Structure formats: C-alpha cells, structure tokens
A and B are shown apart, each in its own frame.
Chain A
C-alpha cells in the first residue's frame, strides 16, 4: 500500500471515490441513448463470442480435451474477470491523451493519490453488460457440467474471479503506463487488449516458448485458465495455488510502474 493511502485512510478514499463517480454518472446520464447503444454493443460482442464457440463445437467435439461446456465455463469466467477492469479502470484508455495534451498535470496537483484520482474519474457502465453475459454463460456452463454449489465453492469462485481480475487490471495498467515513456503508445494497449481475448482458451493449446510467454510474460493464462482449474479438473496445479499471490504481486508491480511513470511526467510546455 502506498504511504499516502495509509495516511488518509480507506474511508476517506471510499467517500471521495463515490463523489467522483457520482459526477461521472451525472454526465453520462445526459446521454441516455449512448448508454443503451453501448450496452447493446457490449452484449452483442459477447454473444458473438458465444456463437463462435457454438459454431466451433458443431464441427469439433473437444478443443485440447476441453468440451463445449468447459469452454463456455472458461469464456464466462473470463468475461466476469474482465468486468472490474472494464468498469473501474477504463480511464486508462484516456491516459495517453491526457499525457499527450498536458491535461494530466491537473492530477499532479491534488493532495490525493494520483493513480487513485485518475482511475476513479470514470466508471464504465457498459462493462455491466459484460458482467451480465458472463454470469449467464458461467451459470449455464455450471449447470450443464453438473457442478455442485456450496458455500465453500461460492467463496472459492469469488476468490478465483478476483484473482483473474487482478491480472487483467495489471496487464492493462502496464500497457497504459507505457505512454509515459512512448509517445505513440496506443498500439500497446490495443495489442494487449486483443491478447486478453484469448484468455478464454486453455493455455495448454500453446506450445514451447509461447506457453511460457502467455503464462509469465503476458499472463493471460492466469485470467481464466489457472483460477478456474479447480472447478473443472481434479488435482491442484501449483500455479493455481499461487495465482492469488501472483495476482496481488503483479498488480502491485503495475501500480508501481504506473506511479513511476507519473512521477517522471513533467508536463507539456511551461
């Protein structure tokens, strides 16, 4: 945790967060049609992902030993794990513009954590459409796989989803932070975001260095595959057990890099 955050206390930050978000909501609600269309766009995107699986499994019975419902499980899981990044950390997409045109300087002059202030400015409502589709898909897969639901399992599921989210957020934090060093860094974010689309496939389809790459360098394997392993397969891989710790560590690293970039920021012009 950052020193300032400790000094101020979580309650202080929570109350500020809701104040900032409320402003964002007010401005968004004045474009109601935009809200509905964006939501529809999000849902359509997720439906198309579903249709893709449906078409694939019309022709093939398994993908690398995973059947239709197991793949849907991974898909639904990855959609839910994406939601916190989509809803809460969406302002990362605007970071490079703010840095480029100099408006980022305003965040440096507030007596609160820069990362916190910047990120809390936007809450992306359409991410909730993703949450809805993800939950429906996961529930459908869960039901058809005949899995049991117990208190323990529910607790595990939430923990696993949070783990996946941490990786997701950390990847995009790092991608966004590149703009402090690179001028034209939009493509880094776009490319990384595309990678996360493949988080829905089991990492075991990749061979050799690519499996290593997607496990340890761009850890999309931890977004859905490793955290959801406990529900789908017997046994417990070491990486699944370690994934929450990795997730917290990776998120912390991404936060430090982001802050390091922000501290290097010297504004544009004088």
Chain B
C-alpha cells in the first residue's frame, strides 16, 4: 500500500516537473490569455452598453466579466492535449509503449495530468483569482465556497480527462485527428458555458445543457465559487451531479477503450 502511494506521488511529481520545464509555454499561455481578456472586455462592454437595463438575465457587466475571466483562467488550467496525443500516438504506433508500462494507461495519464494541472492552478488560476478579487473588491466570498471550488476543480479535471480520453479513443477508428479534435473543442467550449455564461442561453437550450456532462467541467466550479445564494444542500447536489457524470463518462470511456484496443493495428514490425 505504502509502495503504491509512493509510486503515485512520484508520477504526480513528474507531471509537475514536466509542466515547469515548459516555461515558454506558460508565458505564451499568459500572453494569449491577456489578449483574449482584453478582447472580451471590450466586446461585452459594447454588448452591455446597448442593453436597456443594467442587469441582463440576472447578470451585470461586472458579474459577466468575473465569470468569463475566471472561466478563461480555469480553461487554461484544465487544458489538456490528451486527444491530440492519443491520436498521434495511435497513428504512429507509439501507443503500444504506453500499454507496456507496469501501470494502467488511464491511471498513468490521470496522475501525470494532475501534476500539470496543479502547476497551472498555482501559476495561472490563483494569480487570476487574486487579481479579480482585488479589482472587484471582493467579487466572490472567501469562505467554504473555496473548498467547494477546489473539490469541483479536481472532479472537473478528471471528468474533462475522461471526455478527452473518450474522443481520443475514437482515433483508433479514424486517422482524422484534426476533425475529431475540432469537433470536441467546439462542443465542449460552447456547451460548458466557457465562452458564454449559461445564464444567457435560451431556456430550452439551458435545460438541454444541464442534462449534458459538459457544464460540469467549468460551470459547476465557477458557480460554486461565485454564487453566494446557493444553499449547502444545492452545493452538495451540484458536486454529486459532477461526480455522477465523472463516473458515468469514466465507465463508458473505459469500456469503449477496452473494446477499441483490440482493433489496434500498428504499421511496421
């Protein structure tokens, strides 16, 4: 048991070290993120300037900005290239090497990705949160909601991984990595509320979106952080739903993966 935990911690450490190696990547992410934020600031400012009332769908300009800024920081924190990686490794045949490791493929990936996520959370999400808090003068509460937020990010990361993993597994059947990836990205971005807050969605669409797993990735943690009106019970049920989706998507992905692995054909000897 002790040995096992040691093994896990080592992998987590490798993930952390790996992420810290790519400092240029981090600077790039930061730069891209700042420009994105400037653009959405102007865009939403113009949008709200044209609205007849200050509050639209229960959200003011400031609420929207807090949501979108944190959503973008969260997006960069949780960003992973599992689908691209799997697609490339399936195409080249290198994926076989991953199967030979003395540890399950999924476990291995989750652990090293968690390491990456921890670094990104400390280097990009945390500073963003501090800046948002200072600028807005307490745009979100500093109490137990932070605990819920942290828990939701952890579950959300795993859920995000399983969705990526499912899509990556499709690459066993087709070599169209670009097409598969772009479809996944578009669907997740739109339906998770990362680009437009879900509160703005028309009612029917909102209902549909709440029955899909995507909103549990970004919207659940953000809501838990920002929305102070939530009762403890509804907070717990939101986490529960997130967990439910993680287990369901996890099981489906795992089964799909097990079936697909049998078909693998690697070129060359």
- A266 part of interface (Cβ distance < 8 Å): no
- On whether the beta carbons of B182 and A45 are closer than 8 Å, the reply is yes
Overall SS of chain B's interface: helix
- On whether the beta carbons of B174 and A41 are closer than 8 Å, the reply is no
- A144 part of interface (Cβ distance < 8 Å): no
List residues of chain B with CB within 8 A of the CB of A148: none
- B109 part of interface (Cβ distance < 8 Å): no
Count of interface residues, chain A, beta-carbon cutoff 8 Å: 38
List residues of chain A with CB within 8 A of the CB of B6: none
Q: Which residue of A lies closest to B32 (CB)?
A: A191
- On whether the beta carbons of A37 and B43 are closer than 8 Å, the reply is no
- On whether the beta carbons of A37 and B56 are closer than 8 Å, the reply is no
Stretch with Cβ within 8 A of A (4 or more), from B45-53, B97-105, B112-120, B152-160? B45-53
List residues of chain B with CB within 8 A of the CB of A198: 39, 43
- B195 part of interface (Cβ distance < 8 Å): yes
CB distance from B211 to the nearest CB of A (A): 18
CB distance from B194 to the nearest CB of A (A): 12
In the assembled complex, the Cα of A59 lies from the Cα of B52 at a distance in Å of 10
Against A, the Cβ 8 Å flags (1 = close, 0 = not) of B31-49 are: 1100110110011011111
- On whether the beta carbons of B174 and A34 are closer than 8 Å, the reply is yes
In the assembled complex, the Cα of A51 lies from the Cα of B209 at a distance in Å of 14
- On whether the beta carbons of A38 and B57 are closer than 8 Å, the reply is no
CB contact under 8 A between A33 and B196, given known A64-B46, A187-B32, A194-B32: no
- A62 part of interface (Cβ distance < 8 Å): yes
- On whether the beta carbons of A59 and B200 are closer than 8 Å, the reply is yes
- A2 part of interface (Cβ distance < 8 Å): no
- B24 part of interface (Cβ distance < 8 Å): yes
CB distance from B168 to the nearest CB of A (A): 14
Overall SS of chain A's interface: helix
List residues of chain A with CB within 8 A of the CB of B201: 55, 58
Which residues of B (57-100) have their CB < 8 Å from a CB of A? Answer: 57
List residues of chain B with CB within 8 A of the CB of A194: 32, 35-36
Partner of B196, one of A42, A56, A61, A191: A56
CB contact under 8 A between A42 and B182, given known A51-B190, A62-B50: yes
List residues of chain A with CB within 8 A of the CB of B49: 64
List residues of chain B with CB within 8 A of the CB of A195: 35
In the assembled complex, the Cα of A58 lies from the Cα of B174 at a distance in Å of 38
- A5 part of interface (Cβ distance < 8 Å): no
Q: Which residue of A lies closest to B190 (CB)?
A: A48
- On whether the beta carbons of B50 and A41 are closer than 8 Å, the reply is no
List residues of chain B with CB within 8 A of the CB of A206: 42
- A201 part of interface (Cβ distance < 8 Å): yes
- On whether the beta carbons of B39 and A191 are closer than 8 Å, the reply is no
- On whether the beta carbons of A59 and B57 are closer than 8 Å, the reply is yes
Lowest 5 CB-CB distances: which A-B pairs, in order? Answer: A37-B179, A34-B176, A205-B46, A37-B176, A41-B179
A63-B43, A210-B42 are known; give 18 further A-B pairs, CB within 8 A.
A37-B174, A38-B178, A38-B179, A39-B179, A41-B180, A41-B183, A44-B186, A44-B187, A48-B187, A55-B196, A58-B200, A61-B50, A64-B49, A64-B50, A190-B32, A194-B32, A194-B36, A205-B43
- Footprint of B on A, CB under 8 Å? 31, 33-34, 37-42, 44-45, 48, 51-52, 55-56, 58-65, 126, 184, 187, 190-191, 194-195, 198, 201, 204-207, 210
